[in-house]
Amino acid sequence: MALADIFTRPADSAATASPRAFGMRPLGTGLEGLTAWVDDIAALTQPDRIHWVDGSRAENDALLRQMVEDGTLIKLNPEWRPGSYLARSHPSDVARTEARTFIASEREEDAGPTNNWAAPDDIRSTITPLFAGSMKGRTMYVVPFSMGAVGGPLSHIGVQITDSPYAVASIEVMTRVGTDVLREIAGGAPWVKTVHSVGAPLEPGQKSDAWPCNDEKYIVHFPETLEVWSYGSGYGGNAILAKKCFALRIASVIGRDEGWLAEHMLLIRVIDPAGRRYHVAAAFPSACGKTNLAMLKPTIPGWRVETLGDDIAWLRPGEDGRLWAINPEAGFFGVAPGTGESTNQTAVETLWGNTIFTNVALRPDGDVWWEGLTDEAPAELTDWQGNPWTPAMGRPAAHPNSRFTVSAAQCPQIAADWDSPEGVPLDAILFGGRRATNVPLVVEATDWTHGVFLGSTISSERTAAAEGTVGELRRDPFAMLPFCGYNMADYFGHWLKIGQKLRFDRAPRVFQVNWFRKGSDGRFLWPGFGDNARVIDWIIRRIEGEVPGIDSAIGRLPRAEDLDIEGIAVTDADMAELFAIDPASWLREADLTEEFFQTFEGRVPAPLWAELAALRYRLQRA
């Protein structure tokens, strides 16, 4: 089949597709296989029209205009925010639906205890009737997309079918969409199948809601067949299936099978005053400063940071023994509240225009606002649900999970080669959580295995920790707890295997950082934000062998004199507390780690149990 044939197929081809039992028809290869799959989905969902998305500017402009006419988008004042729009979702559809997210592996043990498992045949029998006729009265969009530069050695391809124009517009920002992807498929490139419906079919003559969705929601991943099926939600990662669903859950499975890693990591280039360039990937759970580090503005004179990615990185061992990384995404899908001039000036500057905002507040002048954008709220706003709002009301004007979707190319400190197909070689990997106690500002792993142990034990403290005790820990290993597409204990083992493919002198060094340690008086001991560059300065000097690391029971720590704190309000007492290690408290934490490892019923790799035993031994002797 020629590529042009796809765009000349009749719009009513869905009506003539064979209505056989879905999933039973063997698919071919190349474009024939793709069109056969599209026909099957169309026969199941019964859309009025099929539109193959070509990724052109004219097509996107028409899509945005139509959504404004339909009430899905509000066009913002072009004087303040050119080319930008505001969407308001249904109040029931505002975040990832993790409780309704499933891994449908053939064996339950392959999903593991941290995932919701569903038997593939059972879940197909549940969701297939939901998708039957779900697109009636709507257009079915076929969106071919590439994660990573099209045709790149680290890139992978997917196709999303959706009845949501909002999802189409978002995918066009977050990925590379268009006919170049179809050419890759025509040439035999494998592709991941993703299907999405808002679950709101229309009767003849019925007008769609501005934000269609369904109270019943499912997001189902089939790791053996590399499929994602999402039903009922139009919001965020529930609808932009290229993001968490493909780029992490499914890609983690592909990476396991092919020998690479799909990670919930930012990616930056750090340039020191001498012009030396270093590449750093970092995995932080939500609310731990990830986006701020991705767009860091160092407070140390002469240092610069270039952004390569803010959320996802794919890491692949190279023939040179190094670990190479790409950002597979093309845009930022960030949380708006808390993003402001004082916390992340770069992000604010990125949002100057050409941005889709979702569930933020609307100013009277046609611009947007959210908590944290400015120190003071405007006198009056329209809140995220379209209601009048004033500061006196005492409730947020923007939803706490309100978002912005914007091209990465607009970031003022984006690296010139951020989209390079080959990626960049990593010099350091950082893991971090929000810990008020116990965890020092920075600790270096003694080797790769110890680094994997640090990543496997990443956690944040709940509010009980504010009183200064270890408290209940919210585990998020590698910041991947909601996103690993298979048994997380096997994932730990995969990290160990990746280390065996790297040259010991070229593998990235691994560190754990914690910007959030508090003193006995409850205040943060470290200023954070741009001053986090001072920690990265020490990390780079460790990589270069310019400063020693001091051995401790938990890893290597800086000497006080080697951490540059000139010009910031961190006292000697603060420094001592930032690096204080209480063996008794750490032994209690080791017990919690043992309890966590035991939940995997014997699948945690032996080297990590050995690391835990060695940690206890060192603590007992401290």
pLDDT digits (tens, 9 = 90+) for 170-217: 999 999 999 999 999 999 999 999 999 999 999 999 999 999 999 999
| Given the residues 213, 245, 288, 484, the one annotated as active site | 288
411 is catalytic: no
pLDDT interval class at 473 (50, 70, 90): confident
- What are the E-state strand segments in 185-226? 191-197, 218-222
d(CA 2, CA 7): 10
| Average pLDDT over every residue of 12-21 | 39
pLDDT at 97: 85
Provide the sign of the torsion angle of the four alpha carbons 583, 584, 586, 591, taken in this order: positive
What pLDDT is stored for residue 25 in this prediction? Answer: 37
**Tell me: domain 263-330+420-580, CATH 1.10.10.10, correct?**
no
In the chain, where the domains are located: 3-70+97-259, 263-330+420-580, 331-410
Stretch (H or E) spanning 239 = helix 236-239
Radius of gyration of the chain from its Cα atoms, rounded to whole angstroms: 25
Rounded to whole angstroms, how far apart are CA atoms 283 and 262? 11
| Residue 1 binned pLDDT confidence (cut-offs 50, 70, 90) | low
C-alpha 154/C-alpha 147 separation (Å) is: 9
What's the whole-number mean pLDDT along residues 432-447? 96
Spatial distance between the Cα atoms of 485 and 103, rounded to a whole number of angstroms: 7
Distance between CA 217 and CA 557 in Å, rounded? 47
Q: Which phi and psi (to 5°) does residue 418 adopt?
A: -60, -25
Q: Can you tell me the mean pLDDT for 479-506? A: 97
Tell me: the pLDDT tens digits for 415-427?
999 999 999 999 9
- Report whether pLDDT(6) > 80: no
Q: H helices within 113-207, ranges in order?
A: 120-131, 165-174, 179-186
Which tokens hold the place of 478? 């590698």
* pLDDT per position as a tens digit, 540-579: 999 999 999 999 999 999 999 999 999 999 999 999 999 9
For the chain, helix, strand, coil in percent to 5 are: 30, 20, 45
pLDDT value of residue 19: 32
Return the CATH number of the domain spanning residue range 331-410: 2.170.8.10
Distance CA 46, CA 425 (A): 47
Tokens of 266: 């930012």
Residue 413: predicted pLDDT: 97
What is the per-residue pLDDT for 243? 95
Q: How far apart are CA 359 and CA 85, in angstroms?
A: 11
Quickly state the pLDDT bin for 22 (edges 50, 70, 90): very low
Strands 139-147 and 156-162: antiparallel
pLDDT tens digits for 48-98?
999 999 999 999 999 999 999 999 999 999 999 999 999 999 999 998 888
Q: For residue 12, what pLDDT is reported?
A: 47
Give the C-alpha distances (Å, rounded to integers) separating 559 from 187, 345, 540, 576, 621. 56, 32, 15, 10, 21
**What was the pLDDT predicted at 288?**
86
pLDDT at 342: 87
| Separation CA 137–CA 133 (nearest Å) | 9
- Is the Cβ–Cβ distance between 310 and 266 less than 8 Å? yes
Instruction: Pick the more confident residue, 288 or 121.
Output: 121
Confidence check: pLDDT of 445 > 90: yes
Angle between the N-to-C axes of helices 448-456 and 488-500, in degrees from 0 to 180, rounded to the nearest 10: 160
578-614 confidence digits (pLDDT tens): 999 999 999 999 999 999 999 999 999 999 999 999 9
State the pLDDT at residue 4: 59
Q: What is the pTM of this model?
A: 0.94
In this prediction, residue 334 carries a pLDDT of 93
The pLDDT value given to residue 461? 82
Query: What does the pLDDT read at residue 18?
Result: 35
Render 251-271 in DSSP notation, one character per residue: HHHHHHHHT-EEE--EEEEEE
**Average pLDDT of the segment spanning 229-247:** 96
Query: Which among 259, 231, 115 has a CA at the least distance from the CA of 167?
Result: 231
Q: What pLDDT is attached to residue 11?
A: 43
Mean pLDDT value across residues 246-251 = 98
- Kindly report the three-state secondary structure assignment for every residue of 33-102: HHHHHHHHHHHHHCCCEEEECCCCHHHHHHHHHHHHHHCCEEECCCCCCCCCEEECCCCCCCCCCHHHEE
In whole angstroms, what is the distance from residue 166 CA to residue 147 CA?
19
Q: Which of 3-12, 180-189, 456-465, 500-509 has the lowest mean pLDDT?
A: 3-12
DSSP bridge partners of 524: 518
- Is the confidence at residue 17, as pLDDT, over 90? no
379, 415 in Cβ contact below 8 A? no
| Amino acid at position 315, single letter | L
For the cut 50, the answer to whether the pLDDT of residue 393 exceeds it is yes
Pick the CATH number of 3-70+97-259 from 3.40.50.1260, 3.20.20.10, 3.40.449.10, 3.30.70.20: 3.40.449.10
Q: What average pLDDT is seen over the chain?
A: 93
Q: What pLDDT score does 320 carry?
A: 97
Query: If DSSP states are collapsed to H, E and C, what string results for 484-537?
Result: CCCCHHHHHHHHHHHHHCCCCCCCCEEEEECCCCECCCCCECCCCHHHHHHHHH
Q: What is the 3-state secondary structure (H, E, C) of 436-495?
A: CCCCCCEEECCCHHHHHHHHHCCEEECHHHHHCCCCCEEECHHHCCCCCCCCHHHHHHHH
Q: Of all helices (H) and strands (E), which one includes residue 572?
A: helix 572-578
